[in-house]
């Protein structure tokens, strides 16, 4: 399992987890598309923004291995801002390739691109 060094483990001051420490013996958590409703709590919205910002800072629009990134957290973005980067995508694999769809990310979370971003 790829460990993304320098990627934040969680959102400071919250229980919002971004990475996992070790691979599960039962396999990776399946990545599914979860709906983000407009009435989400503010801490959840801050966690969403911080996670997507970290993805853009670390990977830009390039393909990346899922590795130690939390499958539950990725699921909030899957098939919208984060998409499969390979045809034979396995949603239960630690080596599955993903990428950030920068166009969708800019539409949904424009504030993360305002601070001098050129991505």
Residues contacting 25, CB < 8 A, separation 6+: none
Which among 3, 24, 92, 19 is positioned nearest to 51, based on CA atoms?
A: 19
Neighbouring CB atoms inside 10 A of 107's CB total: 11
Q: Scanning the structure block, which residue is given the tokens 């966690």?
A: 47
How are strands ordered across the β-sheet holding 64-65?
Answer: 64-65, 97-100, 82-84
Query: DSSP 3-state assignment of 110?
Result: helix
> Are residues 112 and 53 in contact, defined by beta-carbon separation less than 8 angstroms?
yes
pLDDT tier at 23, thresholds 50, 70, 90: confident
> Are residues 94 and 71 in contact, defined by beta-carbon separation less than 8 angstroms?
no
pLDDT tens digit sequence for 35-67: 988 888 988 999 999 999 999 999 998 999 999
pTM, rounded to two decimals: 0.88
Count of domains observed in the chain: 1
Q: In terms of residue numbers, what domain contains 88?
A: 1-119
Which of 6-10, 41-45, 81-85 is most confident?
81-85
Q: Where are the beta strands (DSSP E) in 1-119?
A: 64-65, 82-84, 97-100
Q: What is the mean pLDDT of residues 24-41?
A: 89
Neighbouring CB atoms inside 10 A of 66's CB total: 25
């Amino acid at each position: 399992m790829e460990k993304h060094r320098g990627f934040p483990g969680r959102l400071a001051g919250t229980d919002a987890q971004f990475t996992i420490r070790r691979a599960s013996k039962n396999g990776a958590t399946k990545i599914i598309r979860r709906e983000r409703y407009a009435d989400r709590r503010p801490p959840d919205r801050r966690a969403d923004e911080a996670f997507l910002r970290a993805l853009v800072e670390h990977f830009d629009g390039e393909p990346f291995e899922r590795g130690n990134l939390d499958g539950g957290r990725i699921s909030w973005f899957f098939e919208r801002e984060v998409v499969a980067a390979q045809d034979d995508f396995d949603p239960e694999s630690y080596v599955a390739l993903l990428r950030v769809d920068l166009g969708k990310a800019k539409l949904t979370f424009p504030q993360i691109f305002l601070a001098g971003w050129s991505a």
